[in-house]
Amino acid sequence: MPPIAHPEPASPEYLLHLFITGATPNSTRAVRNIKEICEQYLSGRYELLIVDIYQQPELAQQEDLIGVPTLIKLRPGLVRRLVGDLSDRERVLKALGLTTPPVSPPRHE
């Protein structure tokens, strides 16, 4: 019997980098907001890298950041940048190309 071939795990559909400045209130909110959005809308389909520019300033310099926190969507599609604490969920979803609500079970009243 031939061995079972296991396919290589596919890379996540969404690749996101969030640049923050330590544990400031804005950075903390941005981390919480993007994690909630990713779990609700992209569960299992994303990779999120959180970069503290105090600890990794060279990564921030490579990106020419104009403000922090900054979310950079590297894929799919065009690269998009969002500056701020990501509390404007509609704006974040639009930047991520997510215009449909998450799939949720129908509610019975």
Q: What pLDDT, in 10s, does the model give residues 6-55?
A: 455 567 899 999 999 999 999 999 999 999 999 999 999 999 999 999 99
Amino acid at 103: V
Q: What is the DSSP letter of 99?
A: -
| pTM tops 0.75 | yes
Q: What is the DSSP letter of 73?
A: E
The region that residue 86 occupies, defined by phi over 0 for left and psi between -120 and 50 for alpha, beta otherwise, is: left
Percent above pLDDT 70 for the chain:
82
Tokens 């509609």, located at residue: 90
Give me the chain's average pLDDT, please. Answer: 86
